[in-house]
Structures are given as C-alpha cells and as structure tokens.
Structure 1
Amino acid sequence: MSVSERYREAWESYWRGTSDAPGEAIWDADPSLSAARDVDRLTPHADPSLPILDLGCGNGTQTRYLATRFGRALGVDLSHAAVEHARRADAAGAVAEFRQLSLTDAAAVGELHERIGDANVYMRAVIHQSDAPDRRLVAEAVATLVGHRGRGFVAELTEESKTTLARLAESPGGPPLKLRRVFDHGLRPADAGTTEIPELLVAAGLRILAEGPTALAQTEQWADGSRVELPARWFVVARAPGPGRVIHRGGSAPEHRVT
C-alpha cells in the first residue's frame, strides 16, 4: 500500500467510526473558539465578496460558520466519509457546499480553481499531519486556489504541541478516548516542524502578509476541567508577485524579508 493510500484509508476509517454528534472529533471545537477568531485575522486582508474554501473541512463545522461571513462557502476533504458527515449536517444544502478532493491532486485542484475562480482559503491543521512528501503539494494547492485576488488563512500546530499531547496521553487512565482514536487510526498530529510550515508556504509561491501565535482549541479537557489547547501558529498568505516576504506584526510597519 502506498503512502498516500495509507493516509487516505486512515482518514476514511477515522470518519467512518465517528458519529454525527458535535465535538466527537477532538479538533471539532465550536466555531466561536476557532473559525470566528481566525476569520477576524483574515478579513483585514481579504475581499469578502470572493468565495471561501475550507480545505480539510472534516464534518463541516467550521465551513458552516464561514458561510455566515462570506457569500459562498465550499468545504473539501480527502475523506468521502467526512464529506458525508458534512452533508448530513446541512441536508438541505442551504448553508455550504461540500465535495471530496485530494489537495495532492494538482489537476483536480486546478479544475476547482477554474470552476470557481480566485477564492479565499481557510486551512486549519492540515499540513502538520500530512505525510511528508505531500506537504509541499498541500501548500501549492493553497497557492493555486487563492489565485491573484484571494487570500489564505493557514493555522498549523507547532512542535510544542507534541509536549501537550504527550501530557494528555499520560493522563490517569491513559489517553482520553478522543485522543486515543486519533492514534488508533494511525494519524500523526504535530508531525511537521515549526519552521517547516512557513518555508513550505514560501516555496509554494506564497507571501506571508501576517502571522502570529495561537492555540487550537480541542474538545477534550484536562483533569481540572480546563479546555485542552494545542500551541499553533497562524499565517495570512497571498500569491507572491516575486521573491520575498512581507510580514505585518500588530500595528508596526511591515517587515520585509528576502527568502
């Protein structure tokens, strides 16, 4: 079985074994704790009249929120089972659209761009758990889909998340059920290096307009009842007109870096 087939089947197996109950997936946090905050970081740089694509949409929780902030929202996922979850949650198709798509299939990604034109992109925690040979292709998919007018929001776990996950796995009684299911299906959270993410984005032809630290809220809790949050970093990106990065931090003047 090839690497990509193993990866695809891992996700199919995971989503086939997941119920439609909100929050059963460990990352399926309420949008108020995830997409709502992320969109507030994206919109100062983005044209809200463009559609938004939720890459790696899973069961569509965040996609349905994105549809309230943009005129059209389309969620795509590698897993057919995930897309079926998302469609069941929006059976009338009144809120968002969903379709199966592999971000490593450059031809299919190109066809999607031809069909909908330049779009804004939302991608939360996809690169870090992709197989290493596929990560560059995922970043290139973002570059293709934003085109010249769109903007992308990319959030990825940092290496510090491994420490947090290790602590959670060592909880009394062993890993909590939602984390155990991730491991049991062969998924590998926080597998990409922290510096690898921006390097991949730039190598894919993107420029980083803004970035900063964040934490991805999970649906598990610590023993004291507090929410588990995984250290992460977010990036707002656009297609690069040429070499170099332009980084905005808060209200400071842009910092230009040649890469």
Structure 2
Amino acid sequence: MSVPERYRQAWESYWQNTSDAPGEAIWDADPSLSAIPHLALLAPHADATLPIADLGCGNGTQTRYLATRFPRAIGVDLSHAAIEHARRADTEKVAEFEQLSLTDTARVRELHERLGDVNVYLRAVIHQSDAPDRPPVAEAVATLLGRRGRAFVAELTEESKTVLREAAQSPGGPPPKLRRVFDHDLRPADARTAEVPELLREAGLTVLAHGPTTLPQTEYRADGTRIDLPAHWYVVARA
C-alpha cells in the first residue's frame, strides 16, 4: 500500500519550503517539551538497550535527543526533504535517517529484519495521516516492536481543532507557522480521539499506560501565549 500522491506532495512541499532554523516547523518543539517528558513515561516499560525508531521524524530534533538515551536511534519520514533537513542538522552524526513510508509494509518488515526489535517514538503522526493510511501506520508500529519493543504514541485529540480554529480566527488571521500548515494542505487533528486506541488494538497492540497531555508548539497567539495542543499519550506493546 502506498500513500496518496496528494499527501506525499503536501509533505514534500512543506519541508522544501521550510528553512533549517530550529523551531521553524510549528511542531518542532525543543526536546525538553517533547522527547524528554515522553521518555520519562516510556522508561518504566522499555528496554533501554534496544534501538529506538522515531517514526515521522521530520527534521530530526527529537531523534537527535533519543540518540543520547539509546544505543542506536533511527529517524524515518515519508518526505525526502525532511530527511535532508535531519541529516544536515545532525552535525555530530549521532543518529541515522532514512526516507520510508510507514504504509510500505514490505520496507517496514525489512527495517525490522535489519534492526531487530526496537522501541518506537511516534508523535503526532496518526492524526495527520489520511484515514485509509492510519491502520498501516499502527501496524508498522507493531511490526517494528516485535516481541521486546515498547512504543510511546502521542496524538492530538479532537479538542485541538478548537484551539487551532481560535488561533486561526485571531484578528490578524492565522499566525505565520500555522498559516503554512494550512497553505500546504496539511490537516492537523483529523482523526477522532477514540480512533487512536482502536487502531492500536486492531494492530495487535496492548496499552500498558496512557493519559492526557499537551503537545507544545513553536507558535504563539497574538497575546504572546504559546499554542499547546490537547493530546493523549499511550505506551504500547505487542499483545
């Protein structure tokens, strides 16, 4: 199965038109606001001697941090342009990056054969995927985990749509980083909140822990407050 060309081109266009400046992408939060607190939730359940795969790694900000906590960190992304960003930013070559569609089941299996069981970091990927692609994304997580791996999954809830709508309707219109998301036909918070745990279960995963959270963005409202999007996190393993 392959992703629709519209979806692939939307992401290529977005990353081709994004600079290398840290935080230029609206979701490119500092690891202190993302990977660090997320790993604190994953750590009690995960074998830290396994590699970790950052799925939908974008420009690799979180992957580079994950590489300091695991013996090997691999970032994968649908977009060639995103991977190019990630490789340029990784000046110390602490991580590995490769272009990969999570809906390409053959390549996902090949990655698992190459790496063995891995832990997985999946932040805000399912909600951005087109509906037919969401089950394969969850199945990719299950494939990569194998028997020993554990995954941290964080996805926006439906309440995020309200936050984004209010930000977009400010007197000056959407703030610049949010406007770029809309201009490139990306669709944040497109999945139902209840859909995510259903997808995980249908992929043969069991939820070990979960809870509400927010995903801090790098964009601010006109009053100077940061846009933090409501989300839910899950730590999962193969059932």
TM-score range for the pair, normalised by the shorter chain length: over 0.9
Structure 1 gap ranges (5+): 241-259
Which fold has the larger relative contact order, with Cα–Cα distance below 8 Å and residues 6 or more apart in sequence? 2
What residue number does 2:211 align with?
212
Shift of 1:222: 2.0
Shift of 1:224: 2.5
User: Is the contact made by 2:160 and 2:229 (CA closer than 8 Å) also made in structure 1?
Assistant: yes
Task: Find the aligned partners of 1:85 and 1:96 in 2 and give their Cα distance.
Answer: 13
What residue number does 1:151 align with?
150
Task: Find the aligned partners of 1:41 and 1:105 in 2 and give their Cα distance.
Answer: 29
- Counterpart code for 2:170: S
What residue number does 1:257 align with?
none
1:183 to 2:182 alignment:
yes
Shift of 1:90: 1.2
Task: Find the aligned partners of 1:184 and 1:89 in 2 and give their Cα distance.
Answer: 25
Partner-residue secondary structure (3-state), 1:25? coil
What residue number does 2:233 align with?
234
Per the normalisation by structure 2, the TM-score is: 0.98
What residue number does 1:29 align with?
29
What residue number does 1:164 align with?
163
Task: Find the aligned partners of 1:178 and 1:5 in 2 and give their Cα distance.
Answer: 24
Q: CA offsets per residue over residues 133-180 of structure 1, 9 Å max, x none?
A: 000000000000000000000000000000000001011210011001
What residue number does 1:253 align with?
none
1:17-166 maps to which residues of 2 (within 5 A)?
17-93=17-93, 95-166=94-165
Task: Find the aligned partners of 1:169 and 1:38 in 2 and give their Cα distance.
Answer: 28
User: Is the contact made by 2:3 and 2:103 (CA closer than 8 Å) also made in structure 1?
Assistant: no
User: Is the contact made by 2:175 and 2:221 (CA closer than 8 Å) also made in structure 1?
Assistant: no
Task: Find the aligned partners of 1:168 and 1:98 in 2 and give their Cα distance.
Answer: 33
Task: Find the aligned partners of 1:203 and 1:224 in 2 and give their Cα distance.
Answer: 42
Shift of 1:12: 0.3
Task: Find the aligned partners of 1:118 and 1:131 in 2 and give their Cα distance.
Answer: 27
Task: Find the aligned partners of 1:90 and 1:45 in 2 and give their Cα distance.
Answer: 28
Task: Find the aligned partners of 1:3 and 1:155 in 2 and give their Cα distance.
Answer: 21
Task: Find the aligned partners of 2:172 and 2:3 in 1 and give their Cα distance.
Answer: 32
Task: Find the aligned partners of 1:7 and 1:201 in 2 and give their Cα distance.
Answer: 22
Q: CA offsets per residue over residues 169-223 of structure 1, 9 Å max, x none?
A: 0112100110010011110000000000000000000000000000000001122
Task: Find the aligned partners of 2:189 and 2:150 in 1 and give their Cα distance.
Answer: 24
User: Is the contact made by 2:3 and 2:133 (CA closer than 8 Å) also made in structure 1?
Assistant: no
What residue number does 1:8 align with?
8
Pair 1:53–1:3, CA change in 2 (3 A): closer
- Counterpart code for 2:133: D
Larger radius of gyration: 1
User: Is the contact made by 2:59 and 2:82 (CA closer than 8 Å) also made in structure 1?
Assistant: yes
Task: Find the aligned partners of 1:4 and 1:198 in 2 and give their Cα distance.
Answer: 24
Shift of 1:3: 6.1
RMSD: 1.0
Identity over aligned residues, as a percent?
76
Shift of 1:4: 1.2
- Counterpart code for 1:154: V
Partner-residue secondary structure (3-state), 1:210? strand
Partner-residue secondary structure (3-state), 1:217? strand
Displacement over 4 Å in runs of 4+: none
Number of aligned residue pairs: 238
Task: Find the aligned partners of 2:223 and 2:213 in 1 and give their Cα distance.
Answer: 22
User: Is the contact made by 2:117 and 2:148 (CA closer than 8 Å) also made in structure 1?
Assistant: yes
- Counterpart code for 1:124: R
